[in-house]
Amino acid sequence: MRLGCDIGGTFTDFVLLDDETGQILVYKCLTTPGDPSDAIEEGIRDLTLRVPDLPLKMREVIHGTTLVINAIIERKGARTGLITTKGFRDVLELGREFRYAPYDIFSEYPEPLVPRWLRLEVDERVRTDGRVLKALDETQALETIRKLADEGVTSIAVCLLNSFENPAHELTLKELIAKEFPEISISISYEVLPQIREYERTSTTVTNAYVKPLTESYLRKLFNRLNSLGFSGQLFIMLSSGGITSVETAAEFPVRIIESGPTAAVIAGQFYSRLFDLPEMFCFDMGGTTAKSCLIQDGIAGVVPTFEVGRVQRFMKGSGLMIQVPVVDLMEVGAGGGSIARVSRLGTLQVGPDSAGADPGPICYGLGGVEPTVTDADLLLGYLDAEYFLGGDMKLDLEAARKSIETRLAEPLGVSYIQAVWGIHDLINETMAAAAKTHIAERGGNPKQVTVAAFGGAGPVHAYGLARKLGAPKVIVPPNAGVGSALGFFTAPRAFDLVRSHKTPLVGANFDEVETLFRRMESDGERTLRTAGATNKVSFVRSVEARFIGQGYETNLPLPDGSFADLDPSDLRRQFDQAYEKLYGRTYPEIPVEFVNFRVRASLPVQALELPRLKTRGSLNEAFKGERLAYSDKTHDFIPFKVYDRYKLSPDATFAGPSIVEERESTVIVGEGATVRIDDYGFLWIDMKAEQS
């Protein structure tokens, strides 16, 4: 058996998969922010009631967590010091000298994770080609290390100029720190990110150092806690790039698991898009805190090399900390079930981006929340059943939600109660649709051609409204959509991504030398996977990032299998021109090209996931639970919606909206004009064509 566990901002989701029978069991509980492992133990104990001796039967636990990103946002990481080359102490604050709001003289920037007085310099210098211009003064370096230790740092980041070409000085500093202060955690840029661009490399290394002690402590505690329950299998962690890795690798490079949880739903979306041959799928994962989405084209989700964390202005690019590690190309919107609705300074309705989270949560949870949220509105609109939330394990307080919206929103806004309630639901859909249209268009997609795949506890509730605003023709809702991220863990490969910077012109490049570089990277990647217990054959995918000489940004070129030394330079130049022209509309054949970064993904074969087929056989009437009054924006009134029990729906069953389909972890809303079909796997296929016509 394998267990997938995804810790979100509001709920922790579990999916238990029996590889022999294909049986899937799920569980969902509130996240425990004080100690996330509390919720994990609760979930395992609940599942053990249904599967006796479960911990002894589990071969793997695959885990996705928000621990790292929360530690950065909330500034709860380690007291960290930075050692850098003389003259480069202020790189973190200088950044790219980019103003995200050029006309706002009051615009703020995030405080560096390491304050200036904990950023110290060593006297050394390495040239861009790796030759040593000035040797490291080890005596002065040791004094620098001792100064940081005297200041009480528990983690040190080392980032020296051009160390990606020659790491000798960084490795010496690592040895000195380990020898003098073995209790201090160490992160050196050559191991974290041996890549060109000083600011991004420094920022990424510092971030890794900042969260490393916390991550090591949490993963050690989690592993021991699992062992105390009787678990003796392997613990894996989801990477931001879409693979899974060992707990040892995640502890060493926690910066690579910042987007650990949200990535899993996208990986599940990739699996479904290939299973059903859907050329363009818009993966829409709406949980309690945020909504994440990604355009999947031809079964592949894009991966980008950089992203930002802890933005001062959440949706303003350039206002956050730059992290340069591979991450699935996600779009995040501050829109979840817990998003708070309030009256803005302009006297209008505002929903999000801040969230009530798991503590205290929405008002209707009855856990102390006082501010109206999207979940409160969905309940009052009739979309949620107060007696069947989480399968009836959590009763919702409808009256408390009603009173709060009346006093905090309807009366101050001067609108009717129902206008306020519907306004919350519709505004959050509009916010997500606007962001989704931009995301899809920037990647060459068409909102009117995508299939929307809904995940998360709130995703199926809002997918119909989102699809209407996008003009999308179809929505699919997988079984167990409310725990879709946790299910995605089982479709992800064990993988690790490596990158090395080495600038060299295409014309005249030593292709044998580049092949040696690739082989060294592949050896490092295979070693990482073998350390995690891998025994199968490791496969490698290579790519190179090239640019016009003098240009500031690179274009990624996938490479064919085989030796780099056997490639024809003219073929590579032709491939570069084609890729550049596709991106920017034209190319410049007369300008020479250079290689900058070389990339390798080392991965193991994915264990095939066989989705169980529905065993239910019966009439639609057996799944019919009755009718419930819910709000229709077409009639601007509450009308009867037919309610169905998803667990009793049979393959090929069809019905029309307005209808509601309920399961333990989520609820699907289908408006008037749309039709629903259930396939052999239990997916709901919602046809929006009549709705869009």
CATH number at residue 48: 3.30.420.40
Is 105:69 a contact under the CB 8 Å cutoff?
no
> Residue 253: its pLDDT value, please?
92
In a domain, 22, yes or no: yes
Examine the pLDDT at 173 and tell me if it is beyond 70: yes
* pLDDT tens track for 259-281: 877 788 888 888 899 999 999 99
In a domain, 52, yes or no: yes
Q: Are residues 313 and 460 in the same domain?
A: yes
Q: How many residues are recorded in the chain?
A: 693
Q: Are residues 230 and 272 in the same domain?
A: no
Q: Are residues 309 and 432 in the same domain?
A: yes
In a domain, 298, yes or no: yes
- Mean pLDDT for 498-522 is 94
Report for 102-106, 261-265, 387-391, 396-400: range of highest mean pLDDT: 396-400
340 φ, ψ (degrees, to nearest 5) = -85, 135
Q: Are residues 39 and 169 in the same domain?
A: no
* pLDDT tens track for 111-168: 899 999 999 999 999 999 899 999 999 999 999 999 999 999 999 999 999 999 999 9
Question: What does the alpha-carbon distance between residue 92 and residue 112 come to, in Å, rounded to a whole number?
Answer: 6
| Domain-terminating residue out of 384, 401, 425 | 425
| Domain-terminating residue out of 409, 425, 441 | 425
Q: Are residues 172 and 267 in the same domain?
A: no
* pLDDT tens track for 324-380: 888 888 877 767 888 889 998 888 998 877 778 767 889 999 888 899 999 999 999
> Residue 358: its pLDDT value, please?
67
Find out whether the peptide bond into 658 is cis, omega within 30 degrees of 0: yes
Q: Are residues 179 and 198 in the same domain?
A: yes
Question: What does the alpha-carbon distance between residue 458 and residue 484 come to, in Å, rounded to a whole number?
Answer: 11
Find out whether the peptide bond into 182 is cis, omega within 30 degrees of 0: no
Q: Are residues 244 and 288 in the same domain?
A: no
In a domain, 537, yes or no: yes
Is 609:493 a contact under the CB 8 Å cutoff?
no
Q: Are residues 265 and 325 in the same domain?
A: yes
Q: Are residues 177 and 223 in the same domain?
A: no
The candidate with the shortest Cα–Cα distance to 451, out of 269, 255, 671, 230, is 269
Question: What does the alpha-carbon distance between residue 293 and residue 520 come to, in Å, rounded to a whole number?
Answer: 35
Residues 6+ apart with CB under 8 A from 556: 543, 544, 545, 579, 599
Residue 659: beta bridge partners? 642, 670
311 φ, ψ (degrees, to nearest 5) = -65, 140
Q: Are residues 398 and 421 in the same domain?
A: yes
Examine the pLDDT at 385 and tell me if it is beyond 90: yes
In a domain, 348, yes or no: yes
In a domain, 662, yes or no: no
- 594 is written with which tokens? 């250079």
Question: What does the alpha-carbon distance between residue 78 and residue 581 come to, in Å, rounded to a whole number?
Answer: 45
Examine the pLDDT at 539 and tell me if it is beyond 80: yes
The candidate with the shortest Cα–Cα distance to 25, out of 612, 567, 439, 658, is 612
- 200 is written with which tokens? 């991004």
Percent of the chain with pLDDT over 90: 55
Q: Scanning the structure block, which residue is given the tokens 């991106």?
A: 583
> Residue 690: its pLDDT value, please?
58
> Residue 180: its pLDDT value, please?
94
Is 205:192 a contact under the CB 8 Å cutoff?
yes
Is 274:302 a contact under the CB 8 Å cutoff?
no
- Cα 521 to Cα 257, 541, 618: the distances in Å are 20, 11, 56
Lowest mean pLDDT: which of 127-136, 199-208, 391-400, 513-522? Answer: 391-400
Examine the pLDDT at 693 and tell me if it is beyond 70: no
Residues 6+ apart with CB under 8 A from 286: 292, 335, 336, 337, 432, 454, 455, 456, 457, 458, 459, 461, 462
- Mean pLDDT for 471-485 is 89
Give one DSSP letter per residue of 364-405, joined into a string. Answer: GGTSS--S-BHHHHHHHTTSS-TTSGGGGTS---HHHHHHHH
- CATH number of the structural domain spanning residue 533: 3.30.1490
Domain range for 139: 76-207
Residue type, 625: K
- Mean pLDDT for 28-40 is 83
> Residue 595: its pLDDT value, please?
96
Lowest mean pLDDT: which of 210-214, 235-239, 317-321, 632-636? Answer: 317-321
Q: Are residues 441 and 515 in the same domain?
A: no
Examine the pLDDT at 8 and tell me if it is beyond 90: no
- Cα 371 to Cα 9, 289, 297, 485: the distances in Å are 17, 14, 39, 28
| Domain-terminating residue out of 582, 603, 624 | 603
Residue 198: beta bridge partners? none
Q: Which residue has the higher pLDDT, 484 or 251?
A: 251
Task: Work out how many domains the chain is built from and give that number.
Answer: 5
In a domain, 555, yes or no: yes
Q: Which residue has the higher pLDDT, 654 or 263?
A: 654
- Mean pLDDT for 606-617 is 78
Examine the pLDDT at 438 and tell me if it is beyond 60: yes
Q: Which residue has the higher pLDDT, 592 or 101?
A: 592
> Residue 117: its pLDDT value, please?
95
Lowest mean pLDDT: which of 49-53, 208-212, 603-607, 630-634? Answer: 603-607
- CATH number of the structural domain spanning residue 197: 3.40.1360
Cα dihedral across residues 459, 691, 373, 395: positive or negative: negative
pLDDT band at residue 691, thresholds of 50, 70 and 90?
Answer: low
Q: Are residues 283 and 378 in the same domain?
A: no
- 553 is written with which tokens? 């940004």
In a domain, 482, yes or no: yes
Question: What does the alpha-carbon distance between residue 402 and residue 22 come to, in Å, rounded to a whole number?
Answer: 43
- Per the prediction, the chain carries an average pLDDT of 89
> Residue 692: its pLDDT value, please?
54
Is 267:330 a contact under the CB 8 Å cutoff?
no
